[in-house]
Amino acid sequence: DCDDEPSTKIDYYFILRKWMEINPSNEFRCFVRNKELIGICQRDTSQSYGCIGSDKTRICSDIVSFWRENIENRFPLSSYTFDVYRPAKDHVTLVDFNPFGETTDGLLFTWPELKQKEEIRPSTGRTIEEVAEEEQGDIAQYNERNLVDSNRQTDSVIGDTYSFGEDGDTSPEFRYISDATGVQPSPYMQYGLPLDIVDLSTGQDPQKLIDFLQMKIQSEADESSDEEVPS
């Protein structure tokens, strides 16, 4: 006899998210590795927001406080990412959790450096270029990761502003785009183009390129034939 009954009972969860208007300049992505908050960056990398740079210390302090009070000892995983919304001082809202890995966009970080915590160097308000000058031996590695970029700045919430504790723990690295020249293209731009154009530009479908070239050759041949017709 055929038994279509499921072997185990599946419990379904219906989750609703409250709708709210969100200003992209107040969205941030946070990276936790082995229960340590190691990185924070702006979530919308398609624009430069001046308000982030002017308020970076308070932004980082608020996010770290929120994480320690609401997530650190409650979330079951040791490594994960989470997005938050911070519209004002001391006001942080959790938006979402995501896996710690390549399936989640690292945005202004690269996954090799996120997975190797020792590569993330707190910089106390210095730019990446200044850090690289101090560590000339690592300049090739910085270039490879595309981190030597004057438009990306890294800052640590340090000193009297904020500290993890007295045991030497470092605060997370904070990255943001400081001016418009560092803006990254939107990852959704490709969806606004016809699929044929995307395939031609990326070479994903060679047959379409062959068909296009054949059409071009045929069109030029037809034009040439029309020009040779006697009057």
Residue 4: the pLDDT is 67
Per-residue confidence (pLDDT) for residue 223, from 0 to 100:
75
Q: Chain-centre distance of CA 115, in angstroms?
A: 15
Of 82, 43, 49, 46, nearest in space to 64 by CA: 82
- Which mean pLDDT values do the consecutive 10-residue runs of the chain (231 residues) have? 70 85 94 94 89 91 95 94 95 94 91 73 42 42 37 36 44 84 63 71 73 82 68 54
Question: Minimal CA–CA distance to 36: which of 175, 170, 174?
Answer: 170
Beta strands per DSSP E along the chain: 27-33, 36-42, 80-88, 91-98, 152-156, 173-177
Cβ pair 117, 38 in contact under 8 A: yes
Residue with tokens 């419990």: 11
Structure confidence at residue 181 (pLDDT): 61
